[in-house]
Amino acid sequence: MPFSGVWRLSQQHGPPIARYVVEPGPEEVVVRIRTLLGAVTGATLFALSSAPAQAQSIGTLTWQLQPYCNRVTLTITQNGGIYTLDGYDDQCGAAQRAPLVGIATPNPDGSIGFGLNIVTVPSGLSVHVESRVSLGSLGGPWTDSAGNSGTMVFNGAAAGAARPAPTVPGTVLAVGSIPGTAIANGAVGNAQIANGAISSAKTSNEPGVSYAFVNAIVAVTSTPESFADVAMRVPADGYVKIEVTGQWNNSTAGNDTAFCQLQKGAVAAVDLNAPWFALRDRSTANDYTTFSAHRVLPVALADNPLLSSQGQQFRLVCDLTAGAVSLYDVHISATYYATSYAPAGFALPTLDTPPQQ
């Protein structure tokens, strides 16, 4: 039968009165939708939108968001020229339904536009669903804000997988908007990251290296000079580890000494209050010796030069303090690291006393 009835309490200007209300069945609801929504064009639409607002329930209907098994049940209410949609997504028969609200509006092409906002359970993330329903079939195409799509089928009940749960796309998160303190330790592991989802191109502060090699024999003088240098543009504030290896020799017998230091920026005198090293011997002339050293320095993104073709300079600086010293086959490299893992209370070791000349 197209109609059924229920007892309801009604109160207008006096005490509540029990009334038997006749409600439409599913067949009558379909007729009402096609009649009312199909008539909302031209002058009828103008008349409805300008008439005093008085809500009128059209009925409750169900659609399936195929190819998925999700079914949305909507109670359609006419309020002037506006049709509100209230109901739920059954989440394929799950124990908890996902509440939804929405609006239906007639389109100039004769279809009815549905706009739904579904709050998924239990995540609480919302997904927006848009559909264009044909008055002939009461169905039509649908898409959602998560990129899913299909056909909205009136009274559909086909088998299928559940509609994929919405996620927060990376494009809506500004760089640096989620600090490390907002993510619990261990919250993001291998299980939360798909294979190949993060490449080096998507990591803005991954480690990186720059290097150079100088094989010329260069004599050290008493004026501080740069004997090898390398440039690097850092992607963010962090640290650079400078490493250098090479060979040196003494041109004369006796005491031959040079003070050297790995520096950032312009050439400066060797600072004996910061990490440094000495090339020193007391052997015969032309004795070749291998040397190596490293140093870690903090770096800042703001110190990158304006021109993208230039970078921050890291160099080996030496000056002669006694005898004769020459350098050759010098290999220098600079490696960027984003983070220091030094424990709290970390202290630098006591500085050595410069050797006696």
For residues 219 and 309, give the distance between their C-alpha atoms in angstroms, rounded to a whole number: 30
Give me the phi and psi of 137, to 5 degrees please.
-105, -10
Domain match, 88 and 213 both: no
Domain match, 132 and 218 both: no
Return the C-alpha torsion angle 204, 205, 206, 208, nearest 10.
110
Give me the domain span that covers residue 305.
Answer: 208-337
Domain match, 129 and 22 both: yes
Domain match, 149 and 212 both: no
Q: Supply the pLDDT for residue 253.
A: 77
Domain total of the chain = 2
Q: Supply the pLDDT for residue 244.
A: 97
User: Who has greater pLDDT, 196 or 163?
Assistant: 163
Dump strand ranges (E) for the chain.
3-10, 17-24, 55-66, 71-79, 82-89, 98-106, 112-119, 126-133, 140-144, 149-154, 208-214, 218-219, 225-232, 238-250, 256-264, 277-281, 288-299, 312-322, 325-337
Over 50: is that where the pLDDT of 3 sits?
no
Flag whether 194 is in a domain.
no
Q: pTM for the full model?
A: 0.45
Q: Which of 336, 262, 348 is nearest to 299 (CA)?
A: 336
Contacts of 351 (CB under 8 A, 6+ apart): 272, 273
User: With the C-alpha atoms ordered 122, 126, 130, 133, is the resulting torsion angle positive or negative?
Assistant: positive
Q: Which of 282, 286, 308, 313 is nearest to 297 (CA)?
A: 313
Q: Which of 25, 1, 26, 23 is nearest to 154 (CA)?
A: 26
Q: Which of 51, 103, 45, 54 is nearest to 74 (CA)?
A: 103
Picking from 132, 154, 176, the residue at the C-terminal end of a domain is 154
Give me the phi and psi of 334, to 5 degrees please.
-130, 130
Band (pLDDT 50/70/90 cuts) for residue 356 is low
pLDDT digits 0-9 by tens, 236-289: 899 999 999 999 988 777 888 999 999 999 999 999 999 999 998 867 667 788
Q: Supply the pLDDT for residue 42.
A: 36
**How large is the C-alpha radius of gyration of the chain?**
38
Flag whether 200 is in a domain.
no
**CATH code, domain with 255:** 2.60.120.760
Flag whether 267 is in a domain.
yes
Q: Supply the pLDDT for residue 82.
A: 81
Contacts of 11 (CB under 8 A, 6+ apart): 17
Flag whether 258 is in a domain.
yes
